[in-house]
Structure 1
Amino acid sequence: MFLSVMKMISDIKYWFRSLFKVWVNEYKLVGKDLGVMLFFFALPLMYPIVYTLIYNPEVVENVAMVVVDNSRTTESRELVRMINASQYTEVVDYAIDLNEARNMMKERKCYGILVIPEDYARRLGRNEQAVLPIYCDMSLMLRYRSIMFAMTDISLQLGSDIRTEDINESPVAFMSDAVGSTVETDAFFEGDTSQGFASFIMPGVIILIIQQSLILGVLMLNGGACERRRRNGGYDPLTIEAPTSARLIGRAICLMTIYIPMSIYVLHYIPMMFELPHIGSMIDYLALMLPMLLASIFLADIMQPLVTERESSMLVWVFSSVLFLFVSGLTWPRYAMNDFWLTISSLVPSSWGVQGFLAIDVNGCKLGDIPTIYLMLWALTVAYFIIAVIVDRRCRLRDIRRYSKPRYQER
């Protein structure tokens, strides 16, 4: 009994010593690999700045429109002036008919067509509803959004002006009380007060950037280790011999010490620099990032059978980047996904990280307000760690059997 206890204590000491050696050795491996340095440092430092600069200014303004004015009245000209005065739209030309306007749209001279009917002014004079057909180019939703914003604001303004004019011209003194006032709606855009595209998409994209740079760097490290094992009979001379769990956790600690400062820069200072929505507590979203970073590291370890050389990591990046973006909930809400894609989304750490970070930093939630997201990230961390241990052992045994054959030893 005493000997077994002493052996257990000795094994525990060996495990922690191995973990510490792996931790220190991983810094050397990262520092010697220029490609890994680019993924771990240059990509998180530069990508958020480049992406945010691309999306500024946040609102698409002065979308070109063409008008087909079949009314040719004072009222129709006033309508066109109001469209020109809007920050969202600009009337660049008149067209004789709809066919000419459509040809202009095909030639990309405009992205919206407004047709003013012949009876537009007559209907307004009779207090009847006038219908204004609008044709929009749907190749870019941002342009369509700007056109609809402008036309909605203009139609509300026209309706208010007409109603006010009718009341003022009424000979009945109490007419205003009888008619009543127009119902007004005050819109409060929580989390994106400017209604800008960068404020909408960048808080989620920076989470994806963190995950992707981390996965790419880990895959490149694993690809380099696989290349060294191929050249050295199935063994990597630069890797510390240690229990698999200690080796994976030691590397994870190394990467966490690198990525926690990077996460502070990306999640705290980037929103401050570009005035993105930023009202959450740093403690809350850093606590959220802890399991997301760990789950991403272990997910990359699970993916190592796909990477037999350093360059293979780029193929994984090309395949996974678009997929991770689509299932994150930024381009399509997760609740609207079918069961298959919702399951895939739930298995990606950044999907939960995006939802959690948006809730904390954009909408001002506390970590305790999103327990499901936080617990799911920790569940993924534990599950991926167990799977990563199994996968790592199998990959190493596979390389020993494959590359320790005499034909490799003779070379």
Structure 2
Amino acid sequence: MTTALHLHQTPPPQPSNAISTTYQTHHRAATQPPTTGTRIALFYTGPADRCDNYAICGVNSNCDVNNSPTCECLQGFIPKSLEKWNSQNWTDGCVRKVNLDCGNSDGFLKYQGMKLPDTSISWFDRSMNLEECENICLRNSSCSTYANLDVRDGGSGCLLWFNNIVDVRELTSGGQDFYIRVAASELGADTLFSSAFLILAFPLKHTSHNKGLNKMQEFLLGTLTNDQDIAVKRLCNNSGQGPKEFINEVVLIANLQHRNLVKLLGCCIQDDERILIYELMTNRIEARKSLLNWAQRFQIICGIARGLLYLHEDSRLRIIHRDLKTSNILLDESMNPKISDFGLARTFGGDEVEGQTKRVVGTYGYISPEYAARGNFSVKSDVFSFGVIVLETVYGKKNREYFDDNGHDLLGHAWRLV
């Protein structure tokens, strides 16, 4: 830890809107000789913790001493070099997952309680409000982030950053809010609405209610004024899916595009209200197993396999569903299967193949033994669940509803036949 003198002076008026960084201010204070009227105070420089090291996580990333690893990419960004990132060499920073549209379809994600980025490449205006700040940022293709210039009295002024931002960290107390620009798909493809806007944006011609399993969720089935059928999934307070799981489901589904994955049309997060709007699937595999012919069953099994292969191998990040079961396989009018309910899903990057958790989630009867016993999950966990679905589809009965003459359930019976 080093000691220095800090000179508190009113800086001379700047001829332009350039902003001096904290480092530049300290350097100037240490080199300029004291003048009449200058008040001298003792202060200490030097990193108080790892995140105090300048730009330790590289560009477009956040440093949090309470996390392990310390560095993480900002939402909507991925490591530029995954190999270096996994070895905790973060100097290359992060790059965008999806390029900006450079138009009004882009949006902003809010970060709260943060140390603002380095202002070396920035611009400010004292007269603008936050809404005007957002609009001017959207009109500039290089603008990446905006914030209030002054946080007093509710906030005022506009501060813009351009291209990459650097030296961001999460603070345990205090801090400021800033808004980082991302492509529409990172916001859920323009699908985040307030409850009031939801009613206006999705006027229903016809609705009916259906409670989900164990009353954990409520489904509102309806038809929009454009004759599109929709399913509105409303989570109850005792559903077990908190805000983190809900946002996880929205972000994942919005960025996944495959014919065997359910399509998300909209969502709502307001107070305790959590709503998802899906394309309507008219059938569920669990309700139709006994009515399906062999060709349809084979088609469903192949469709689920294609969707699972996309999640595990072909999407940008490897995704482990962790709650694959027949009730989460929806069927359209042509009996094409679509995997749904990504609230418990986890993502892997690069060479990651396995994870571990102390909180085992999922549905017993479908989760793999190593996951149930030790919390280890991987693509093999989903493959195990897929195997149970295949057996249930072939037999036309659920695993825990089937018992042979020896008292074995469907899995035990199949094991004896191998």
Please state which band the TM-score falls in when normalised by the shorter chain: under 0.3
What is the TM-score of this pair, normalised by structure 2? 0.21
Per residue, is there more strand in 1 or in 2? 2
Per residue, is there more helix in 1 or in 2? 1
Question: Relative contact order, CA 8 A, sep 6+: which one is greater?
Answer: 1
What is the TM-score of this pair, normalised by structure 1? 0.22
Larger Rg: 1
